[in-house]
Each structure stands twice: as C-alpha cells, then as structure tokens.
Amino acid sequence: MHLHRTILRAAAALAAALMLPVAAAQEPGPGAAAAPAPARGAPARSAAAAPPKPRIALRYGAQRQGRRDDPAMARWREDRLGVIVHFGLYSIAAGSWGGKEHDGAAESIKMGAQVPDADYDALLKRFDPAKDSPARWVALAKEMGARYVILTAKHHDGFCLWPSDETDYDVAATPYREDLVGQFVQAAKDAGLDVLLYYSILDWHHPDWRGELRTPDDRAAFARYWGYATRQCAELLRRYPSVMGLWFDGTEDSSVKANGQLTLALEQQLRAIRPDVLVGSRLRADENGARHFDSNGDLMGDWEQGWERKLPRTPPANDWECTMTVPENGWGYHAGWKGHLKDTHEVLEMAARCVAMGGNFVLNIGPMGNGGIRPEEQALARGIGDWMHVNGGAIVGCGLSGLPKIDWGWWTRRPGSAELNAIVFNLPLSGALPVVLPRNQAPESATILGGDGAPLRIEATRPGEWLVHLGGRTFTQPFTVRVKVKPAG
C-alpha cells in the first residue's frame, strides 16, 4: 500500500507539472473499475512482497514528512470553510476588450485577448471601487459562514492591491490610492476571520519575468525577478502581521520548475520572518521539476493546493483544500456568465464532501470593477449562510469520521468526539437513514440539528446496522442528524 501511494503521489506531481487533472492520478474511489484479476492458474501477486521503492536524495524536496501539527495549522483545519476574492484591474474589463467578449477566464484577459501593455495599463486610471468594498466582501463571507478569506494581493497581471515599496504598478497609482489589502485584512480581523493573501509568482507586467530560460540573459533576468518577488512576499508578511499565510499561484512555467532551490529559499525566508506562516504546495518545486509533491512523493508545503475546481474520490493523505468557482471556470468578474452555474445545494454538497474527506472548501467571489458583488453570488452566499447557521456544527472543526461513504450523504466528526454528523442530501424514500458502525459501537441517540430536539427512533436491523427513523418529517434542503455513539454492549 505504501508503494502504491508513493507511485500515485509521484503521478499526481507529474500530472500537476503537465497541467493535467490531478484527479486522474488519485486512487480509485467507490465504483471505480477494479484491477484485473490474475489469469487462472497464474501465481498471485502480493503487494506486500514488492520491494519498496528506494528514496531519492533530494536537496530541494519536502522539508517535512507527514502532516504539520502546530496551533496555526490546527486553526486552518478548524476553519474548514473559506472564501477567495479575485479582484484587480481585470475586474474593470469584465471579460470583454475592444467591444468583443472574451470567452476565457476574465482574470487572464490581458493574455487571452492579447491586450497591449499600454492599453491594459490604462485601466489604472479607472481603478476606483467604492471605498467600503473590502469591508462588504468580508461581511458577505462572514454571512456565508466562512471562517477564513483569501484576497488576490497580486494576480498574474502584476498589479498590486497594496502600496508596494517594490513597484509603482500598484493601488497607489490609481484614483483609489488607499491600501486595499490593508482594508481587507483589518475588516477580516474585526469580523473574526482568518486571512491568507494570494500572490502570483507569474507576472506579465514585470520586465524581468521569464516563463522559459533559454539564454544566459533569461536566467539573469529571472534571478532579478525572483529577488523582486521574494522582497514583495516578505513585505506582505511584515506589513500585515496578522495574516495566516500566503496562497501562491502561477508556478507552472518551466522557469520555476527549473529552480527548485529558489522556491525552497523563498519558503525558508518566509518561515524565518514568521515561523508559523502557512505556505501551500503551489510555491514549491524540487530539483527534478516536480511540483506539489517532490520526487519521493512527499508534499512540499503545508497543504495540497492541487484541488482546483475538482474533488478527490478518496481522502488524500495530507491536509488539502478545494477552491471552487460558481460557473464552470473563471475567477475574476465576467459580465457574461455562461454555462452551468452552481446552486446552493450543489455547493453545500461539495463543502460537505470536502470536510468528510478531511479537507477545506473555498468558494470564489469575483467582485465587479466598482467593488459590488453580483446578485447571484450574494444570493448563493446567503443561502449557504442560512444553512450554516443551523448546520455549521457539522462543518467547522470537523473532518474524517472513520466510516465508509454512504448513499444518503456524508459523515463528519469532530476529532475525538463521540458524536457523528450525518449530512443528508439524498433522503431515502423510506424516511429512514441506514447507519453502519463498527461492531464495537452502537448509536445511543439521534436528533436533527435545528429541529425540535425530539429524539429519533433507532431500530437495530442486523449486527452493526441500524435504521434512524425520521418520523415522517419532510425536508426542502439538506439537513444534519447528529448521532451519539456509545460502546456496543
């Protein structure tokens, strides 16, 4: 099993480096095709008999094996539900340029629509969102029941939402002028929410950025750029000491993958400034160009960042986080939303699935250029918040239950608790929930969160199996049954 997981992790790292769906490299989940059986008469192959894969000596690989265990990481796990806000110059363009709608991701319109630098930079003069925008974004996240928020301090276009000492391509050069990152961080602090700051290594504005290193001049320019990015990241930690960590992106280019030593040096410098800082897996590469996971299959960083707009089939071995858009793709504001738009129940099931598999769930919001939030996103966030107000105890602070997946929904449990949370999305027509527990456990009581407090009838059907009867109750949205477990006697 250890060998199998090592191979899978290496495959996941290779898939991430090639920009392939990481889910394709995960272990098969329930319902997946089983491996073919040996031909009749052929000797059985034992996974235990296979020799362990020798570990590679790495200078720039993972700096830790296993999960990080300290108060900062425990707080991140406790939060479970987050919001990421994509906002920048691209929000003004709103997915169109030159009177033509761009079908790609709105936040990448500069590259996708091949906008000349001078034309794109003219957006600086139009950047003037409402002054209370950061506070309103945070307030909506709080209303949604989120426990942490992430803001794009610098996206791929290189524009900085704080007055950086390293560049004049920042908010100070706009009519807005004020420190938008600082306002966001303070609003989150006042609301009791944790903060991470998104930082893109990729930078289409900086003259020294290189995606490929073909010549000595390219390598010299990239080294200068890396110094710039390093100083900016250090600046963010020092300027905003209350932030939980940095959320990296834009590290897929070969220039980054060829410089694992630089990614490690940046991580080490950040930890020297703030020993408890959280750093996700997207920053790092090893000397062989492996990303997220090093060439031995060990996670580089504090949590897996590869789960973008997709969910694993089985629980990952590490801490992990899923980031999800409302449309199928697109993070920044696009006036012409197209295709399938996720509704409240769909998002809630994704969030419950993440928590049930030991991960965090982060929903994206892309404010308009004036700082306002489109009505659809407001309604979605408030619908989630209404549900969280009643059922948040099954999400915040919860994780793996130790029980197998069941058809009616997802189990979650707070670590060490004797209470299980049955988050029900598919109510059986019988009106009773099948419950299967280990033979040494039995349900003691069951109640509905937010209900009348009346105990539900529990019927034993066979050893280790019960039915929790809902007493003819009807539901119009997902609900949670809290099941208290006792030792079987």
Q: Is the pLDDT at 7 greater than 80, yes or no?
A: no
Please check whether residues 427 and 303 belong to one and the same domain. no
Q: Which has the minimum average pLDDT: 12-21, 122-131, 208-217, 265-274?
A: 12-21
Is the residue at 332 inside a domain? yes
Last residue of a domain, one of 360, 392, 424: 392
CATH number for the domain that contains residue 87 = 3.20.20.80
The whole-angstrom separation of Cα 165 and Cα 152 is 18
Q: Are strands 194-200 and 148-154 parallel, antiparallel or unpaired?
A: parallel
Report whether pLDDT(32) > 50: no
Which of 392, 422, 441 corresponds to the end of one domain?
Answer: 392
Res. 90: pLDDT tops 60 = yes
40 assigned to some structural domain: no
352 and 240 share one domain: yes
Q: Is the pLDDT of residue 17 over 60?
A: no
The answer to whether residue 337 sits within a structural domain is yes
Say if CB 487 and CB 437 are below 8 A apart.
no
Beta bridge partners of 480: 423
Distance CA 466, CA 85 (A): 44
Q: How far apart are the first and last CA of the chain?
A: 34
Question: Residue 51: which pLDDT band, with cuts at 50, 70 and 90?
Answer: confident
Tell me: do 225 and 306 sit in the same domain.
Answer: yes
Sorting pLDDT into bands at 50, 70 and 90, what band is 44? very low
Does residue 377 belong to any structural domain of this protein? yes
Look up the pTM and report it.
Answer: 0.89
- Residue 55 belongs to some domain of the structure: no
Q: Are 404 and 166 in contact (CB under 8 A)?
A: no
Average pLDDT score over the chain? 91
Confidence class of residue 289 from pLDDT cuts 50, 70 and 90? very high
- 440 and 320 belong to one structural domain: no
* Co-location of 107 and 222 in the same domain: yes
pLDDT at residue 35 tops 90: no
Residue 380 lies in a domain: yes
pLDDT tens for 296-344 read 999 999 999 999 999 999 999 999 999 999 998 899 999 999 889 999 9
Encode the chain in three state secondary structure: CHHHHHHHHHHHHHHHHCCCCHHHHCCCCCCCCCCCCCCCCCCCCCHHHCCCCCCCCCCCCCCCCCCCCCHHHHHHHHHCEEEEECCCCHHHHCCEECCEECCCCHHHHHHHCCCCHHHHHHHHHHCCCCCCHHHHHHHHHHHHCCCEEEEEEECCCCCECCCCCCCCCEHHHCCCCCCHHHHHHHHHHHHCCEEEEEEECCCCCCCCCCCCCCCHHHHHHHHHHHHHHHHHHHHHHHHCCCCCEEEEECCCCHHHHCCHHHHHHHHHHHHHHCCCCEECHHHCECCCCCECECCCCCECCCCEEEEECCCCCCCCCCCEEEEECCCCCCCCCCCCCCCCCCCHHHHHHHHHHHHHCCEEEEEEECCCCCCCCCHHHHHHHHHHHHHHHHHHHHCCCCECCCCCCECCEEEEECCCCCEEEEEECCCCCCCEEEEECCCCEEEEEEEECCCCCCCCEEEEEECCEEEEECCCCCCCCCEEEEEEEEECC
Residue 47 lies in a domain: no
Q: What is the CATH classification number for the domain harbouring 457?
A: 2.60.40.1180
- Judgement on whether residues 288 and 369 belong to the same structural domain of the protein: yes
Q: Up-side HSE of residue 77: CA atoms within 13 Å toward CB?
A: 21
For residue 96, tell me if it sits in a domain: yes
- Per-residue model confidence (pLDDT) at position 329: 86
- Per-residue pLDDT reduced to its tens digit, 139-194: 999 999 999 999 999 999 999 999 999 999 999 999 999 999 999 999 999 999 99
Q: What is the pLDDT of residue 48?
A: 55
Judgement on whether residues 302 and 421 belong to the same structural domain of the protein: no
pLDDT at 259 over 60: yes
355 pLDDT exceeds 50?
A: yes
pLDDT digits (tens, 9 = 90+) for 70-83: 999 999 999 999 99
344/340 Cα distance (integer angstroms): 13
Asked if residue 30 has pLDDT above 90, the reply is no
Same domain as 331, residue 455: no
- Bridge-based pairing of strands 245-249 and 194-200 is parallel
| 6: pLDDT strictly greater than 60 | no
* Contact in structure between 421 and 393 (CB atoms under 8 Å): yes
Residue 21 has pLDDT above 70, yes or no: no
Return the sign of the alpha-carbon dihedral for residues 319, 325, 329, 330: negative
Contact status, residue 218 vs residue 172, Cβ threshold 8 Å: no
The dihedrals phi and psi of 293, each to the nearest 5 degrees, come to: -110, 135
Q: Which tokens is 376 given?
A: 């659809």
Both 146 and 289 in one domain: the answer is yes
- Regarding whether 355 and 305 lie in a shared domain, the answer is yes
Tell me how many domains the chain contains.
2
Domain extent, residue 371, equals: 79-392
Report whether pLDDT(419) > 50. Answer: yes
- The pLDDT assigned to 49 comes to 57
Q: What percent of the chain has pLDDT over 90?
A: 87
Has residue 489 got a pLDDT over 90? no
Residue 1 has pLDDT above 50, yes or no: no
Per-residue tokens: 236? 């963010």
Are both 187 and 296 inside the same structural domain?
yes
**Is the domain of 310 the same as that of 360?**
yes
